[in-house]
Amino acid sequence: MSANFLSYRRFLFFFSLLPALLCLAGCGTQAQNARKVQSDLTESLRHAQTDPTDVQARQWADRAIAVAPSDPDTYLGSRAPNPNDPIPTLSVALVFSAVGDTPALAEYLTQAVQKFPNDERGYLLLIEAQKQLGQTAAQKAAAAKLVTLFNTKLKTPGTTDIPNTTFSLAQAYFDAGDIPNGSATYKKAIQAYPGEPTPLNNLAYAYAVRGTNLPEALGLAQKAVTLAQKKGEDDITIAGYLDTLGWVQYQQGNYLAAEQNLLEAANALPRLAETRYHLGLVYIAQGKMDAARSELNHAVQLSQGYAAAQQALDTLPKAVATK
């Protein structure tokens, strides 16, 4: 799975809560501005769910931003949700992620990082959107800024959550094109946190994306899955690691094992376009063109503008009509 996995996992969890969010929005906060933001975002989500191309979805999102233009949570969601109220509030990023409008998501996240350049959340989500849109140069530029942010954060006294910050720094190096520093930072993290599956998974995925160090990547991915299962991680997290394992196996030409792991991941993460794309490529390699077309179409529907999935879909032989 995409190596900024924790960010995606959070959004995937939100998808399952959308009905509750629609009920909660507009009545779960006391401040008038906060209620107005949630009300506007609820309307944005309703329009986007009915028709992702509906311009009113953006209009309502813009209204929400206008209510609280200096609040990054309007764009990105609450940084620290109330532990007594686990249902998160809506955000602009959540609205457009939920409906798979990746171009709109990237545009709003670009606004967010310009307005809030020291908030790493915007960069993390923007980079993932840029990857799917195939915006490599923009992705590298955003990742370079994220490297600076995380390095500064790690040097700042009192910084908490050092492990995840370190994992994110390593991935930011990779996303910026700095492979040596990315690999070295992940390996240091693996040594420093031997019971943590995240750096194992992320380094395996970074290798698999580039088609390098595949025997090492396989061992890392297998160990990540084993550790996650032993730790009793939730099904969504383990599915993300299975996606990585399946992607490594695909790169190695072990298509049957890849299919098995990716199907399990897709069952747990039905709205993750990346897993559908991976599964589509496995089916192409096996000559299962109808299944490949179905998965790639699904990927493109889940994430509009998904460049790699659309390219793979466009190169498939045209379906033959049957009488």
Helical pair 273-285 and 255-268, crossing angle rounded to 10 deg: 160
Alpha-helical regions (H) of 18-161: 18-24, 32-50, 55-67, 72-76, 92-98, 102-115, 120-133, 136-155
- Euclidean distance between CA atoms 238 and 261, whole angstroms: 11
The pLDDT value given to residue 123:
96
Per-residue pLDDT of the chain (323 residues; tens, 9 = 90+): 754 544 444 444 444 444 444 444 444 444 688 889 999 999 999 999 887 677 999 999 999 999 989 999 999 987 554 545 445 579 999 999 989 999 999 999 999 999 999 999 999 999 999 999 999 999 999 999 999 999 999 999 998 889 999 999 999 999 999 999 999 999 999 999 999 999 999 999 999 999 999 999 999 999 999 999 999 999 999 999 999 999 999 999 999 999 999 999 999 989 899 999 999 999 999 999 999 999 999 999 999 999 999 999 999 987 543 33
User: 127-139 b/e with 16+ CB inside 10 Å = b?
Assistant: bbbbbbbebeebb
Q: What range defines the domain where residue 103 resides?
A: 1-134
Q: Is residue 91 part of a domain?
A: yes
Task: Kindly state whether residue 75 falls inside one of the protein's structural domains.
Answer: yes
- Residue 48 domain flag: yes
CA dist., res. 106 & res. 122, Å (int): 10
Q: DSSP string spanning 251-320?
A: HHT-HHHHHHHHHHHHHH-TT-HHHHHHHHHHHHHTT-HHHHHHHHHHHHHHSTT-HHHHHHHHTSPPPP
pLDDT at 54: 78
DSSP state of 26: T
pLDDT value at position 19?
45
| Sole residue written with tokens 């191309």 | 53
Q: How many CB atoms lie within 10 A of CB 16?
A: 10
For residues 79 and 121, the answer to whether their CB atoms sit within 8 Å is yes
**Could you tell me if residue 216 is inside a domain?**
no
For residue 84, being part of any structural domain is answered with yes
Q: CA-to-CA distance for 46 and 254, rounded, in angstroms?
A: 42
List the one residue out of 163, 13, 155 whose CA is nearest residue 94: 13
pLDDT at 78: 74
Q: At how many degrees (to 10) do helices 235-252 and 197-210 cross?
A: 30
Closest CA to 190 of 210, 217, 211: 217
* Two tokens, residue 165: 């910050």
State the total domains in the chain.
1
Task: Map tokens 């609450």 to a residue.
Answer: 78
Query: Residues 266, 276: contact at Cβ < 8 Å?
Result: yes
Are 240 and 224 spatial neighbours (Cβ–Cβ below 8 Å)?
no
Does the residue 290 lie in any domain? no
For position 25, what pLDDT does the model report? 43
User: Which pTM does this prediction carry?
Assistant: 0.87
Cα–Cα separations (whole angstroms), residue 119 to 10, 62, 106, 145, 238 = 17, 20, 16, 11, 28
Q: Domain for residue 89, yes or no?
A: yes
CA distance 196 to 29: 36
Q: Could you tell me the CATH number of the domain that includes residue 59?
A: 1.25.40
The answer to whether residue 234 is domain-embedded is no
Burial of residue 218 (number of CB atoms within 10 Å: 0-12, 13-18, 19+): buried
